Structure 1
Amino acid sequence: MSYRVGIEEAKALLSELIEAAVRGENVVIIKDNSSGVRLVPVKLRERRPQFGSAKGLIEISENFDAPL
């Protein structure tokens, strides 16, 4: 299926239009019947923690290994 909607309609249907684009459907949002944009899904990469990124956020007390 293909969607071609105006800006006001797109505001009301944004969630549905995003889902359609993710499914691979053609979604175009038109402004003033002269220009438009196409919704295109993107694959987000999983961000891996960077080594040392928590430096300074954790404090270990002097007696952390003392018997309980």
Structure 2
Amino acid sequence: MAKVVNVAEAKAKLSELLEAALRGEEVIIAKRGKPLVRLMPEKPQTRELGFLDFDIPDSFFEPLPEEELAAWYGENEA
């Protein structure tokens, strides 16, 4: 069964309500007797690495030619 509290009580007991929600209890904050929000733990977000399947060619790690380096540094501009 959900624990329903009004906004004023929620302000006074926020830490207690957060702990209850983290324990898995359903906590609802109501305004004028109508449910307004539900407190629940945030689900951890995971990032999946390797979702793009590609290979980096060995040439990627080779030094750049002098002309290209100069272009990167704006040395070839007229």
TM-score (norm 1): 0.57
Unaligned runs of 5+ in 2: 47-78
Q: State the match for 2:60 in structure 1.
A: none
Q: Report the number of matched residues.
A: 47
Per-residue deviation, 1:32: 1.6
> For residues 4 and 35 of structure 1, do their structure 2 counterparts lie closer, same or farther at Cα, with a shift above 3 Å needed?
closer
CA RMSD of aligned residues (A): 2.1
Per-residue deviation, 1:38: 0.2
Which structure ranks higher in relative contact order (CA pairs < 8 Å, sequence separation ≥ 6)?
1
Unaligned runs of 5+ in 1: 47-68
Higher helix proportion = 2
Per-residue deviation, 1:36: 1.4
Counterparts of 1:1-68 in structure 2, within 5 Å, are: 2-44=2-44
Amino acid at match of 2:6: G
* Structure of higher CA gyration radius: 2
The sequence identity of aligned pairs, in percent, is 52
Per-residue deviation, 1:34: 2.7
Q: Which runs of 4+ in 1 moved over 4 A?
A: none
Between the aligned partners of 2:23 and 2:34, the Cα distance in structure 1 is 27
TM-score (norm 2): 0.51
Higher strand proportion = 1
